[in-house]
Protein backbone atom coordinates (compact mmCIF):
# COMPACT_ATOMS: atom_id res chain seq x y z
CA UNK A 1 0.00 0.00 0.00
CA UNK A 2 2.76 2.40 0.99
CA UNK A 3 4.70 1.75 -2.19
CA UNK A 4 1.82 2.85 -4.39
CA UNK A 5 1.36 5.95 -2.33
CA UNK A 6 2.45 9.37 -3.45
CA UNK A 7 5.06 11.36 -1.57
CA UNK A 8 4.04 14.71 -0.19
CA UNK A 9 6.18 16.57 -2.70
CA UNK A 10 4.42 14.87 -5.61
CA UNK A 11 1.06 15.52 -4.18
CA UNK A 12 0.00 18.49 -6.22
CA UNK A 13 0.43 16.56 -9.46
CA UNK A 14 -2.00 14.01 -8.18
CA UNK A 15 -4.82 16.16 -7.10
CA UNK A 16 -7.82 15.11 -9.10
CA UNK A 17 -10.39 17.33 -7.55
CA UNK A 18 -10.27 20.91 -8.62
CA UNK A 19 -13.54 21.92 -7.19
CA UNK A 20 -13.19 23.87 -4.03
CA UNK A 21 -12.77 27.38 -5.29
CA UNK A 22 -16.43 28.12 -4.88
CA UNK A 23 -17.39 31.72 -4.26
CA UNK A 24 -18.46 32.62 -0.78
CA UNK A 25 -21.99 33.35 -1.93
CA UNK A 26 -22.65 29.68 -2.59
CA UNK A 27 -22.15 28.59 1.04
CA UNK A 28 -24.62 25.77 1.40
CA UNK A 29 -25.67 26.05 5.01
CA UNK A 30 -24.25 29.36 5.57
CA UNK A 31 -25.00 30.62 8.15
CA UNK A 32 -26.53 33.71 7.24
CA UNK A 33 -26.06 34.36 10.23
CA UNK A 34 -17.34 -7.93 30.55
CA UNK A 35 -17.11 -9.27 33.00
CA UNK A 36 -14.64 -7.09 34.72
CA UNK A 37 -14.15 -7.37 38.46
CA UNK A 38 -14.38 -3.58 38.64
CA UNK A 39 -17.74 -3.26 36.97
CA UNK A 40 -20.35 -1.62 39.21
CA UNK A 41 -23.03 -3.53 37.37
CA UNK A 42 -21.75 -6.79 38.69
CA UNK A 43 -20.50 -5.95 42.12
CA UNK A 44 -22.70 -6.79 45.06
CA UNK A 45 -24.01 -3.75 46.92
CA UNK A 46 -21.58 -4.29 49.80
CA UNK A 47 -18.49 -4.20 47.62
CA UNK A 48 -19.80 -1.19 45.72
CA UNK A 49 -20.02 0.93 48.79
CA UNK A 50 -16.86 -0.36 50.49
CA UNK A 51 -14.66 2.76 50.72
CA UNK A 52 -11.37 0.93 50.34
CA UNK A 53 -12.27 -0.61 46.98
CA UNK A 54 -10.79 1.05 43.89
CA UNK A 55 -13.22 1.17 41.00
CA UNK A 56 -12.85 2.13 37.36
CA UNK A 57 -14.13 5.35 35.77
CA UNK A 58 -14.52 5.52 32.00
CA UNK A 59 -15.30 8.47 29.71
CA UNK A 60 -15.33 8.01 25.94
CA UNK A 61 -14.45 10.39 23.14
CA UNK A 62 -15.82 9.08 19.87
CA UNK A 63 -15.12 10.25 16.34
CA UNK A 64 -17.84 9.23 13.92
CA UNK A 65 -17.21 9.77 10.20
CA UNK A 66 -20.27 11.39 8.72
CA UNK A 67 -21.92 9.36 6.02
CA UNK A 68 -21.87 11.95 3.26
CA UNK A 69 -20.86 11.78 -0.39
CA UNK A 70 -18.59 14.82 -0.03
CA UNK A 71 -16.28 16.32 2.60
CA UNK A 72 -17.17 18.78 5.36
CA UNK A 73 -15.86 21.91 3.64
CA UNK A 74 -15.10 20.83 0.06
CA UNK A 75 -16.78 19.03 -2.81
CA UNK A 76 -14.21 16.22 -2.91
CA UNK A 77 -15.81 12.77 -2.73
CA UNK A 78 -15.63 10.59 0.37
CA UNK A 79 -14.76 6.94 -0.22
CA UNK A 80 -12.94 4.23 1.73
CA UNK A 81 -9.90 2.58 0.12
CA UNK A 82 -9.69 4.71 -3.04
CA UNK A 83 -6.20 5.11 -4.61
CA UNK A 84 -4.08 7.45 -2.44
CA UNK A 85 -4.59 11.18 -3.05
CA UNK A 86 -7.34 10.59 -5.60
CA UNK A 87 -10.01 12.35 -3.53
CA UNK A 88 -8.32 15.66 -2.71
CA UNK A 89 -9.55 19.15 -3.57
CA UNK A 90 -7.36 22.26 -3.49
CA UNK A 91 -9.01 23.19 -0.20
CA UNK A 92 -8.22 19.78 1.32
CA UNK A 93 -4.58 20.26 0.32
CA UNK A 94 -4.73 23.73 1.85
CA UNK A 95 -3.77 25.70 -1.20
CA UNK A 96 -3.66 29.44 -0.55
CA UNK A 97 -6.81 31.24 -1.64
CA UNK A 98 -9.17 28.33 -1.07
CA UNK A 99 -12.09 28.75 1.28
CA UNK A 100 -14.30 26.36 3.24
CA UNK A 101 -17.84 25.75 2.00
CA UNK A 102 -19.92 24.08 4.70
CA UNK A 103 -21.64 20.86 3.58
CA UNK A 104 -25.31 20.99 4.49
CA UNK A 105 -25.59 17.21 4.66
CA UNK A 106 -22.94 17.09 7.42
CA UNK A 107 -24.82 19.69 9.46
CA UNK A 108 -28.07 17.76 9.05
CA UNK A 109 -26.35 14.54 10.12
CA UNK A 110 -25.01 16.18 13.28
CA UNK A 111 -28.42 17.68 14.10
CA UNK A 112 -30.13 14.33 13.53
CA UNK A 113 -27.59 12.55 15.72
CA UNK A 114 -27.98 15.21 18.41
CA UNK A 115 -31.77 14.84 18.39
CA UNK A 116 -31.58 11.04 18.53
CA UNK A 117 -29.29 11.33 21.55
CA UNK A 118 -31.62 13.73 23.35
CA UNK A 119 -29.24 16.66 23.04
CA UNK A 120 -30.08 20.34 23.06
CA UNK A 121 -29.27 21.47 19.52
CA UNK A 122 -27.68 24.90 19.55
CA UNK A 123 -29.36 27.36 17.20
CA UNK A 124 -25.98 29.02 16.86
CA UNK A 125 -22.63 27.26 16.88
CA UNK A 126 -19.12 28.39 15.99
CA UNK A 127 -16.08 27.06 14.17
CA UNK A 128 -12.54 27.32 15.53
CA UNK A 129 -9.03 26.46 14.42
CA UNK A 130 -7.11 23.96 16.54
CA UNK A 131 -3.44 23.93 15.63
CA UNK A 132 -1.32 20.81 15.29
CA UNK A 133 1.80 20.27 13.29
CA UNK A 134 1.46 16.95 11.51
CA UNK A 135 2.36 16.21 7.92
CA UNK A 136 -1.12 14.84 7.30
CA UNK A 137 -2.74 18.14 8.29
CA UNK A 138 -1.60 20.50 5.54
CA UNK A 139 -3.24 23.64 6.93
CA UNK A 140 -1.48 23.22 10.26
CA UNK A 141 -4.84 23.36 11.96
CA UNK A 142 -8.09 21.43 12.15
CA UNK A 143 -11.43 23.24 11.91
CA UNK A 144 -13.50 22.13 14.89
CA UNK A 145 -16.13 23.55 17.27
CA UNK A 146 -14.28 24.32 20.45
CA UNK A 147 -16.22 27.28 21.86
CA UNK A 148 -19.78 26.46 20.91
CA UNK A 149 -20.55 22.98 19.53
CA UNK A 150 -23.65 22.11 17.51
CA UNK A 151 -25.26 19.92 20.22
CA UNK A 152 -24.85 19.56 23.99
CA UNK A 153 -26.25 17.78 27.06
CA UNK A 154 -27.55 14.54 25.63
CA UNK A 155 -28.15 11.07 27.02
CA UNK A 156 -27.39 7.70 25.51
CA UNK A 157 -29.44 4.92 27.07
CA UNK A 158 -27.93 1.50 26.63
CA UNK A 159 -28.64 -1.90 28.13
CA UNK A 160 -26.63 -4.71 29.59
CA UNK A 161 -27.66 -8.26 30.23
CA UNK A 162 -27.13 -8.96 33.91
CA UNK A 163 -28.30 -11.28 36.63
CA UNK A 164 -27.18 -14.83 37.32
CA UNK A 165 -28.33 -16.19 33.99
CA UNK A 166 -27.37 -12.99 32.20
CA UNK A 167 -30.88 -12.63 30.87
CA UNK A 168 -32.02 -9.63 32.90
CA UNK A 169 -31.99 -6.43 30.89
CA UNK A 170 -30.45 -3.55 32.87
CA UNK A 171 -30.83 -0.06 31.44
CA UNK A 172 -28.10 2.52 31.98
CA UNK A 173 -27.48 6.08 30.92
CA UNK A 174 -24.37 7.91 29.86
CA UNK A 175 -24.39 11.68 29.49
CA UNK A 176 -23.28 13.12 26.18
CA UNK A 177 -21.44 16.33 27.01
CA UNK A 178 -21.34 17.57 23.43
CA UNK A 179 -21.31 16.75 19.75
CA UNK A 180 -19.05 18.87 17.58
CA UNK A 181 -18.47 19.02 13.86
CA UNK A 182 -14.84 18.81 12.76
CA UNK A 183 -12.51 17.80 9.96
CA UNK A 184 -10.71 14.50 9.75
CA UNK A 185 -6.96 14.54 9.03
CA UNK A 186 -5.13 12.74 6.24
CA UNK A 187 -3.05 9.63 6.83
CA UNK A 188 0.70 9.30 7.19
CA UNK A 189 2.13 6.07 5.86
CA UNK A 190 5.63 5.12 6.89
CA UNK A 191 7.68 3.42 4.20
CA UNK A 192 10.51 1.76 6.12
CA UNK A 193 12.25 0.50 2.98
CA UNK A 194 12.81 3.96 1.52
CA UNK A 195 12.69 5.54 4.97
CA UNK A 196 10.09 8.01 3.89
CA UNK A 197 6.77 9.11 5.24
CA UNK A 198 4.12 9.22 2.57
CA UNK A 199 0.98 11.25 2.84
CA UNK A 200 -2.49 10.28 1.68
CA UNK A 201 -4.95 13.16 1.89
CA UNK A 202 -8.07 11.24 0.82
CA UNK A 203 -9.36 11.39 4.38
CA UNK A 204 -8.30 15.01 4.93
CA UNK A 205 -11.37 17.13 5.45
CA UNK A 206 -13.91 14.30 5.76
CA UNK A 207 -16.67 15.40 8.14
CA UNK A 208 -16.54 14.01 11.66
CA UNK A 209 -18.91 14.23 14.58
CA UNK A 210 -16.94 14.13 17.79
CA UNK A 211 -19.09 12.87 20.64
CA UNK A 212 -17.71 13.55 24.10
CA UNK A 213 -19.21 11.49 26.90
CA UNK A 214 -19.05 12.28 30.62
CA UNK A 215 -17.09 9.79 32.74
CA UNK A 216 -20.25 7.91 33.74
CA UNK A 217 -19.18 4.35 33.06
CA UNK A 218 -17.16 1.98 35.16
CA UNK A 219 -15.90 -0.94 33.10
CA UNK A 220 -15.21 -2.31 29.67
CA UNK A 221 -18.50 -4.12 29.42
CA UNK A 222 -20.51 -0.93 29.98
CA UNK A 223 -18.43 1.00 27.47
CA UNK A 224 -18.81 -1.79 24.92
CA UNK A 225 -22.60 -1.87 25.38
CA UNK A 226 -22.82 1.92 25.07
CA UNK A 227 -20.73 1.99 21.89
CA UNK A 228 -22.73 -0.88 20.38
CA UNK A 229 -25.95 1.04 21.06
CA UNK A 230 -24.46 4.20 19.58
CA UNK A 231 -23.36 2.23 16.52
CA UNK A 232 -26.91 0.90 16.04
CA UNK A 233 -28.36 4.39 16.46
CA UNK A 234 -25.96 5.95 13.94
CA UNK A 235 -26.66 3.16 11.48
CA UNK A 236 -30.43 3.52 11.93
CA UNK A 237 -30.10 7.26 11.33
CA UNK A 238 -27.74 6.72 8.40
CA UNK A 239 -25.46 9.45 9.75
CA UNK A 240 -22.40 7.18 10.08
CA UNK A 241 -21.78 3.68 8.77
CA UNK A 242 -20.21 2.84 12.10
CA UNK A 243 -17.65 0.29 10.94
CA UNK A 244 -14.89 0.39 13.55
CA UNK A 245 -12.37 -1.69 11.63
CA UNK A 246 -12.57 0.75 8.70
CA UNK A 247 -12.13 3.69 11.06
CA UNK A 248 -15.61 5.12 10.51
CA UNK A 249 -16.16 4.98 14.26
CA UNK A 250 -13.05 5.63 16.38
CA UNK A 251 -13.25 5.33 20.12
CA UNK A 252 -10.72 6.77 22.58
CA UNK A 253 -11.21 5.61 26.13
CA UNK A 254 -10.31 7.82 29.09
CA UNK A 255 -9.75 5.61 32.09
CA UNK A 256 -9.04 6.29 35.74
CA UNK A 257 -9.63 4.59 39.09
CA UNK A 258 -10.75 6.01 42.41
CA UNK A 259 -12.52 5.08 45.62
CA UNK A 260 -16.25 5.84 45.38
CA UNK A 261 -17.06 9.11 47.09
CA UNK A 262 -13.55 10.47 46.52
CA UNK A 263 -12.48 12.81 43.66
CA UNK A 264 -11.76 11.19 40.30
CA UNK A 265 -8.26 9.85 39.76
CA UNK A 266 -5.68 10.81 37.15
CA UNK A 267 -6.78 9.47 33.77
CA UNK A 268 -5.00 7.89 30.85
CA UNK A 269 -6.34 7.96 27.32
CA UNK A 270 -6.31 4.66 25.45
CA UNK A 271 -6.20 4.80 21.65
CA UNK A 272 -5.87 2.35 18.74
CA UNK A 273 -9.00 0.42 19.58
CA UNK A 274 -10.61 -0.93 16.44
CA UNK A 275 -13.36 -3.20 17.64
CA UNK A 276 -15.94 -3.26 20.41
CA UNK A 277 -14.46 -6.44 21.84
CA UNK A 278 -11.03 -4.83 22.08
CA UNK A 279 -12.59 -1.72 23.64
CA UNK A 280 -13.89 -3.78 26.56
CA UNK A 281 -10.58 -5.62 26.93
CA UNK A 282 -8.44 -2.47 26.70
CA UNK A 283 -10.49 -0.69 29.37
CA UNK A 284 -10.50 -3.62 31.78
CA UNK A 285 -6.77 -4.11 31.29
CA UNK A 286 -6.14 -0.42 31.94
CA UNK A 287 -8.32 -0.34 35.08
CA UNK A 288 -6.48 -3.34 36.50
CA UNK A 289 -3.10 -1.87 35.55
CA UNK A 290 -3.89 1.39 37.36
CA UNK A 291 -5.14 -0.47 40.43
CA UNK A 292 -1.91 -2.48 40.48
CA UNK A 293 0.20 0.70 40.14
CA UNK A 294 -1.62 2.38 43.04
CA UNK A 295 -1.53 -0.71 45.21
CA UNK A 296 2.22 -0.93 44.73
CA UNK A 297 2.43 2.65 45.98
CA UNK A 298 3.01 4.20 42.55
CA UNK A 299 1.16 7.01 40.79
CA UNK A 300 -0.81 6.92 37.54
CA UNK A 301 0.65 9.19 34.84
CA UNK A 302 -1.64 11.33 32.71
CA UNK A 303 -0.58 9.89 29.35
CA UNK A 304 -1.82 8.52 26.06
CA UNK A 305 -1.56 4.77 25.73
CA UNK A 306 -2.09 2.47 22.78
CA UNK A 307 -3.91 -0.84 22.95
CA UNK A 308 -1.98 -3.76 21.53
CA UNK A 309 -4.59 -6.34 20.54
CA UNK A 310 -1.98 -9.11 20.21
CA UNK A 311 -0.73 -8.90 23.78
CA UNK A 312 -3.95 -7.47 25.21
CA UNK A 313 -1.95 -4.71 26.94
CA UNK A 314 -1.97 -0.93 26.82
CA UNK A 315 1.44 0.68 26.25
CA UNK A 316 2.56 4.31 26.55
CA UNK A 317 2.58 6.18 23.22
CA UNK A 318 5.61 8.28 22.57
CA UNK A 319 4.21 10.82 20.16
CA UNK A 320 2.22 12.96 22.55
CA UNK A 321 4.62 13.72 25.33
CA UNK A 322 4.21 16.98 27.13
CA UNK A 323 1.28 19.35 27.17
CA UNK A 324 0.11 20.53 23.76
CA UNK A 325 -0.79 24.13 23.06
CA UNK A 326 -3.46 24.05 20.39
CA UNK A 327 -3.56 27.85 20.04
CA UNK A 328 -7.31 27.86 19.48
CA UNK A 329 -8.69 30.79 17.48
CA UNK A 330 -11.99 31.52 15.76
CA UNK A 331 -12.10 30.31 12.14
CA UNK A 332 -12.23 33.59 10.23
CA UNK A 333 -13.56 32.10 6.99
CA UNK A 334 -16.72 30.60 8.44
CA UNK A 335 -19.52 32.67 9.87
CA UNK A 336 -21.52 31.33 12.82
CA UNK A 337 -23.62 28.31 11.90
CA UNK A 338 -27.27 29.23 12.41
CA UNK A 339 -30.08 26.65 12.50
CA UNK A 340 -33.79 27.42 12.35
CA UNK A 341 -36.45 25.91 14.59
CA UNK A 342 -39.20 25.58 11.95
CA UNK A 343 -40.33 27.08 8.67
CA UNK A 344 -42.21 29.82 10.50
CA UNK A 345 -39.00 31.06 12.11
CA UNK A 346 -37.22 31.54 8.77
CA UNK A 347 -36.49 35.23 8.10
CA UNK A 348 -38.07 36.54 4.91
CA UNK A 349 -35.97 36.16 1.83
CA UNK A 350 -34.17 33.03 3.09
CA UNK A 351 -34.32 30.02 0.81
CA UNK A 352 -35.39 27.03 2.93
CA UNK A 353 -33.15 24.77 0.81
CA UNK A 354 -30.07 26.68 1.89
CA UNK A 355 -30.59 26.31 5.61
CA UNK A 356 -31.18 23.57 8.15
CA UNK A 357 -34.57 23.48 9.85
CA UNK A 358 -34.49 21.43 13.06
CA UNK A 359 -38.21 20.60 13.03
CA UNK A 360 -37.96 18.96 9.60
CA UNK A 361 -35.13 16.74 10.79
CA UNK A 362 -37.10 15.82 13.91
CA UNK A 363 -40.02 14.71 11.74
CA UNK A 364 -37.74 12.56 9.61
CA UNK A 365 -36.15 10.65 12.52
CA UNK A 366 -36.42 6.89 11.89
CA UNK A 367 -37.36 4.26 14.46
CA UNK A 368 -34.47 4.02 16.93
CA UNK A 369 -33.15 0.64 18.09
CA UNK A 370 -34.57 0.94 21.64
CA UNK A 371 -38.03 1.77 20.27
CA UNK A 372 -37.74 -1.07 17.79
CA UNK A 373 -36.88 -3.52 20.59
CA UNK A 374 -39.85 -2.38 22.70
CA UNK A 375 -42.12 -2.69 19.70
CA UNK A 376 -40.90 -6.24 19.00
CA UNK A 377 -41.48 -7.28 22.63
CA UNK A 378 -44.96 -5.76 22.67
CA UNK A 379 -46.12 -6.84 19.24
CA UNK A 380 -44.83 -10.38 19.28
CA UNK A 381 -44.64 -11.22 22.96
CA UNK A 382 -40.99 -12.25 22.67
CA UNK A 383 -38.48 -11.91 25.52
CA UNK A 384 -36.47 -8.68 25.83
CA UNK A 385 -33.19 -10.55 25.37
CA UNK A 386 -34.49 -11.92 22.06
CA UNK A 387 -35.30 -8.38 20.94
CA UNK A 388 -31.63 -7.52 21.55
CA UNK A 389 -30.46 -10.43 19.43
CA UNK A 390 -32.84 -9.46 16.63
CA UNK A 391 -31.87 -5.78 16.55
CA UNK A 392 -28.14 -6.47 16.96
CA UNK A 393 -27.92 -8.55 13.79
CA UNK A 394 -28.20 -6.60 10.59
CA UNK A 395 -31.31 -7.71 8.70
CA UNK A 396 -32.57 -10.16 11.33
CA UNK A 397 -35.69 -8.19 12.29
CA UNK A 398 -36.78 -8.10 8.64
CA UNK A 399 -36.05 -11.81 8.30
CA UNK A 400 -38.07 -12.62 11.43
CA UNK A 401 -41.02 -10.53 10.32
CA UNK A 402 -40.94 -12.05 6.83
CA UNK A 403 -41.12 -15.55 8.35
CA UNK A 404 -44.05 -14.49 10.52
CA UNK A 405 -45.96 -13.22 7.51
CA UNK A 406 -45.70 -16.60 5.83
CA UNK A 407 -46.63 -18.87 8.72
CA UNK A 408 -49.38 -19.23 11.26
CA UNK A 409 -46.88 -20.35 13.87
CA UNK A 410 -46.79 -18.14 16.95
CA UNK A 411 -44.02 -15.52 17.04
CA UNK A 412 -42.84 -16.90 20.37
CA UNK A 413 -42.17 -20.24 18.71
CA UNK A 414 -40.63 -18.74 15.57
CA UNK A 415 -38.14 -16.63 17.52
CA UNK A 416 -36.19 -19.67 18.74
CA UNK A 417 -35.75 -20.88 15.16
CA UNK A 418 -34.45 -17.51 14.06
CA UNK A 419 -32.16 -16.75 17.03
CA UNK A 420 -30.90 -20.30 17.63
CA UNK A 421 -31.06 -22.42 14.47
CA UNK A 422 -30.63 -19.75 11.82
CA UNK A 423 -28.29 -17.40 13.68
CA UNK A 424 -26.28 -20.31 15.08
CA UNK A 425 -25.64 -21.67 11.58
CA UNK A 426 -24.85 -18.20 10.21
CA UNK A 427 -22.37 -17.44 12.99
CA UNK A 428 -20.68 -20.78 12.63
CA UNK A 429 -19.86 -19.96 9.03
CA UNK A 430 -19.27 -16.27 9.60
CA UNK A 431 -22.14 -15.32 7.30
CA UNK A 432 -24.51 -12.37 7.43
CA UNK A 433 -28.29 -12.68 7.45
CA UNK A 434 -28.58 -11.64 3.80
CA UNK A 435 -26.26 -14.54 2.85
CA UNK A 436 -28.50 -17.16 4.45
CA UNK A 437 -29.08 -20.12 2.11
CA UNK A 438 -32.52 -20.53 3.69
CA UNK A 439 -34.92 -17.75 2.78
CA UNK A 440 -37.63 -16.55 5.19
CA UNK A 441 -40.31 -18.20 3.05
CA UNK A 442 -38.40 -21.49 2.98
CA UNK A 443 -38.11 -21.46 6.77
CA UNK A 444 -41.80 -20.56 7.04
CA UNK A 445 -42.69 -23.58 4.90
CA UNK A 446 -40.70 -25.84 7.22
CA UNK A 447 -42.37 -24.39 10.31
CA UNK A 448 -45.77 -24.81 8.68
CA UNK A 449 -45.05 -28.52 8.12
CA UNK A 450 -44.32 -28.84 11.82
CA UNK A 451 -47.25 -26.68 12.87
CA UNK A 452 -49.74 -28.72 10.86
CA UNK A 453 -48.42 -31.96 12.31
CA UNK A 454 -46.73 -33.30 9.19
CA UNK A 455 -43.36 -33.58 10.90
CA UNK A 456 -42.21 -33.64 14.50
CA UNK A 457 -40.07 -30.91 16.03
CA UNK A 458 -36.95 -33.03 16.08
CA UNK A 459 -37.43 -33.95 12.42
CA UNK A 460 -37.93 -30.26 11.67
CA UNK A 461 -34.43 -29.64 12.99
CA UNK A 462 -33.02 -32.41 10.79
CA UNK A 463 -34.81 -30.95 7.78
CA UNK A 464 -33.41 -27.51 8.60
CA UNK A 465 -29.87 -28.91 8.50
CA UNK A 466 -30.57 -30.59 5.18
CA UNK A 467 -32.02 -27.35 3.77
CA UNK A 468 -28.85 -25.56 4.89
CA UNK A 469 -26.70 -28.13 3.12
CA UNK A 470 -28.74 -28.24 -0.10
CA UNK A 471 -30.06 -24.78 -0.83
CA UNK A 472 -33.00 -24.76 -3.18
CA UNK A 473 -34.52 -27.96 -1.82
CA UNK A 474 -37.79 -27.26 -0.04
CA UNK A 475 -38.73 -28.67 3.34
CA UNK A 476 -41.50 -30.70 1.73
CA UNK A 477 -39.14 -32.23 -0.85
CA UNK A 478 -36.68 -33.26 1.85
CA UNK A 479 -39.44 -34.68 4.04
CA UNK A 480 -40.80 -36.74 1.16
CA UNK A 481 -37.44 -37.89 -0.22
CA UNK A 482 -36.20 -39.05 3.15
CA UNK A 483 -39.57 -40.34 4.34
CA UNK A 484 -39.51 -38.14 7.41
CA UNK A 485 -43.26 -37.61 7.71
CA UNK A 486 -44.91 -38.07 11.06
CA UNK A 487 -45.77 -41.70 11.90
CA UNK A 488 -49.37 -41.67 13.06
CA UNK A 489 -50.24 -45.23 12.25
CA UNK A 490 -51.71 -46.25 15.62
CA UNK A 491 -51.09 -49.96 15.16
CA UNK A 492 -47.43 -49.42 14.31
CA UNK A 493 -46.97 -47.06 17.26
CA UNK A 494 -48.63 -49.56 19.60
CA UNK A 495 -46.02 -52.16 18.67
CA UNK A 496 -43.11 -49.79 19.25
CA UNK A 497 -44.54 -48.49 22.53
CA UNK A 498 -45.10 -52.03 23.77
CA UNK A 499 -41.48 -52.90 23.00
CA UNK A 500 -40.26 -49.93 25.00
CA UNK A 501 -42.58 -50.64 27.93
CA UNK A 502 -41.51 -54.30 28.04
CA UNK A 503 -37.82 -53.49 28.07
CA UNK A 504 -38.08 -50.81 30.83
CA UNK A 505 -39.86 -52.35 33.81
CA UNK A 506 -38.22 -50.02 36.35
CA UNK A 507 -39.46 -46.91 34.55
CA UNK A 508 -42.93 -48.37 34.22
CA UNK A 509 -42.91 -49.13 37.93
CA UNK A 510 -41.87 -45.56 38.73
CA UNK A 511 -44.71 -44.14 36.63
CA UNK A 512 -47.22 -46.44 38.26
CA UNK A 513 -46.03 -45.28 41.68
CA UNK A 514 -46.81 -41.68 40.73
CA UNK A 515 -43.65 -40.33 39.09
CA UNK A 516 -45.32 -39.20 35.89
CA UNK A 517 -42.23 -37.39 34.64
CA UNK A 518 -40.58 -40.69 33.77
CA UNK A 519 -43.12 -40.98 30.95
CA UNK A 520 -41.03 -38.41 29.07
CA UNK A 521 -38.09 -40.79 29.12
CA UNK A 522 -40.21 -43.53 27.53
CA UNK A 523 -41.47 -41.04 24.95
CA UNK A 524 -37.87 -40.19 24.13
CA UNK A 525 -37.09 -43.86 23.62
CA UNK A 526 -40.03 -44.26 21.24
CA UNK A 527 -38.82 -41.24 19.29
CA UNK A 528 -35.36 -42.79 19.14
CA UNK A 529 -36.84 -45.93 17.62
CA UNK A 530 -38.70 -43.89 15.00
CA UNK A 531 -35.88 -41.39 14.39
CA UNK A 532 -38.02 -38.62 15.82
CA UNK A 533 -40.92 -39.25 13.49
CA UNK A 534 -43.57 -40.56 15.89
CA UNK A 535 -46.62 -38.37 16.50
CA UNK A 536 -45.95 -37.19 20.08
CA UNK A 537 -49.62 -36.76 20.95
CA UNK A 538 -50.45 -40.32 19.96
CA UNK A 539 -47.34 -41.74 21.63
CA UNK A 540 -48.15 -40.03 24.91
CA UNK A 541 -51.71 -41.35 24.87
CA UNK A 542 -50.60 -44.90 24.09
CA UNK A 543 -47.85 -44.91 26.72
CA UNK A 544 -50.19 -43.45 29.34
CA UNK A 545 -52.60 -46.28 28.73
CA UNK A 546 -49.90 -48.94 28.85
CA UNK A 547 -48.41 -47.65 32.12
CA UNK A 548 -51.62 -46.89 33.97
P1 LIG B 1 -10.01 17.57 27.91
O2 LIG B 1 -10.67 18.86 27.57
O3 LIG B 1 -8.72 17.70 28.59
O4 LIG B 1 -9.98 16.58 26.79
P5 LIG B 1 -12.46 16.77 29.15
O6 LIG B 1 -12.91 17.16 30.49
O7 LIG B 1 -13.15 17.36 27.98
O8 LIG B 1 -10.92 16.95 29.06
O9 LIG B 1 -12.64 15.20 29.07
C10 LIG B 1 -12.28 14.49 27.97
C11 LIG B 1 -12.79 13.07 28.14
O12 LIG B 1 -12.20 12.48 29.29
C13 LIG B 1 -14.28 12.98 28.38
O14 LIG B 1 -14.79 11.91 27.60
C15 LIG B 1 -14.42 12.70 29.85
O16 LIG B 1 -15.55 11.90 30.11
C17 LIG B 1 -13.17 11.94 30.15
N18 LIG B 1 -12.69 12.10 31.51
C19 LIG B 1 -12.42 13.26 32.14
N20 LIG B 1 -11.94 13.01 33.39
C21 LIG B 1 -11.89 11.66 33.53
C22 LIG B 1 -11.46 10.79 34.58
N23 LIG B 1 -10.97 11.23 35.73
N24 LIG B 1 -11.56 9.46 34.36
C25 LIG B 1 -12.01 8.98 33.21
N26 LIG B 1 -12.41 9.75 32.19
C27 LIG B 1 -12.36 11.08 32.34
MG1 LIG C 1 -10.44 15.85 24.68
Per-domain residue ranges of the chain: 9-21+53-240, 369-481, 490-546
pLDDT category of residue 319 using cuts at 50, 70 and 90 = low
Q: How many Å apart are CA 331 and CA 139, to the nearest integer?
A: 12
pLDDT on residue 39: 63
Looking at 39-53, 173-187, 468-482, which range is the least confident one? 39-53
pLDDT on residue 165: 77
Looking at 43-57, 172-186, 505-519, which range is the least confident one? 43-57
User: Region 204-227: what's the mean pLDDT?
Assistant: 97
- CA 506 – ligand 1 centroid, Å: 69
Task: Write the CB contacts of 343 (distance below 8 Å, at least 6 apart in sequence).
Answer: 352, 357, 359, 360
CB 448 near ligand 1, within 6 Å = no
- CB of 230 closer than 8 Å to CB of 294: no
Q: How many Å apart are CA 280 and CA 284, to the nearest integer?
A: 6
Task: From residue 60, give the alpha-carbon distance in Å to each of 24, 54, 253, 312, 413.
Answer: 36, 20, 5, 19, 40
pLDDT category of residue 529 using cuts at 50, 70 and 90 = confident
Task: From residue 396, give the alpha-carbon distance in Å to each of 207, 400, 426.
Answer: 30, 6, 11
User: Region 309-314: what's the mean pLDDT?
Assistant: 94
Of all protein residues, the one whose alpha carbon is nearest to atom 24 of ligand 1 is 256
- CA 34 – ligand 1 centroid, Å: 22
pTM of the model: 0.82
User: Region 430-435: what's the mean pLDDT?
Assistant: 94
Residue 309 backbone dihedrals phi, psi, to 5 degrees: -70, -20
pLDDT on residue 126: 98
pLDDT on residue 11: 38
pLDDT on residue 320: 53
The share of the chain scoring above pLDDT 70, in percent, equals: 89
pLDDT category of residue 19 using cuts at 50, 70 and 90 = very low
**pLDDT tens, position by position, 63-97:** 999 999 999 999 999 998 899 999 999 999 999 99
CB 291 near ligand 1, within 6 Å = no
Looking at the predicted structure, is the pLDDT value of residue 287 above 60? yes
Q: For residue 99, which of 107, 109, 89, 108 has the smallest C-alpha distance?
A: 89
Strand partners, 155: 175
pLDDT category of residue 322 using cuts at 50, 70 and 90 = low
Provide long-range contacts, Cβ within 8 A and 24+ apart, for 444-448.
Answer: 444/402, 444/403, 444/405, 444/406, 444/407, 444/409, 445/406, 445/474, 445/475, 445/476, 446/475, 447/403, 447/407, 447/409, 447/413, 447/414, 447/417, 448/406, 448/407, 448/408, 448/409
* Max CA separation in the chain (angstroms): 97
pLDDT category of residue 490 using cuts at 50, 70 and 90 = confident
Ligand 1: which atom is nearest the Cα of residue 255?
25
- CA 62 – ligand 2 centroid, Å: 10
Of the two residues 438 and 38, the one the predictor is more confident about is: 438
Looking at 128-132, 219-223, 350-354, 393-397, which range is the least confident one? 350-354
The share of the chain scoring above pLDDT 90, in percent, equals: 71
Of the two residues 269 and 13, the one the predictor is more confident about is: 269
CATH class label, 490-546: mainly alpha
CB 264 near ligand 1, within 6 Å = yes
**pLDDT tens, position by position, 398-424:** 999 999 999 989 999 999 999 999 999
- CA 61 – ligand 2 centroid, Å: 7
Looking at the predicted structure, is the pLDDT value of residue 30 above 60? no
pLDDT on residue 14: 35
Q: How many Å apart are CA 293 and CA 311, to the nearest integer?
A: 19
CB 215 near ligand 1, within 6 Å = yes
pLDDT on residue 5: 37
Amino acid sequence: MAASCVAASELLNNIKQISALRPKASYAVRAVSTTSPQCHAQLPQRARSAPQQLVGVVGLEIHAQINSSTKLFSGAPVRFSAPPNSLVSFFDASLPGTLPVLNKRCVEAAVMTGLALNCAVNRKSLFDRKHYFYADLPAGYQITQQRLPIAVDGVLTYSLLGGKKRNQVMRKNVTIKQIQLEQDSGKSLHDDVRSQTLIDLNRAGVGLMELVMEPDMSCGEEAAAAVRELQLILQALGTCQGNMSEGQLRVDANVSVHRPGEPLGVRTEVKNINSIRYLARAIDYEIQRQIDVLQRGGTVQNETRAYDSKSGETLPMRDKEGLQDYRFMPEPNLPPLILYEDDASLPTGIDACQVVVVQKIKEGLPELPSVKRDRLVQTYGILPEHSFTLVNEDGLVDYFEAVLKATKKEPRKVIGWVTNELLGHLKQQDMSVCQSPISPSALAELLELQETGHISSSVAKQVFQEMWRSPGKTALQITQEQDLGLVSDTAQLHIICQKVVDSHPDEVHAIRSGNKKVLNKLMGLVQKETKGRADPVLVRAILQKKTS
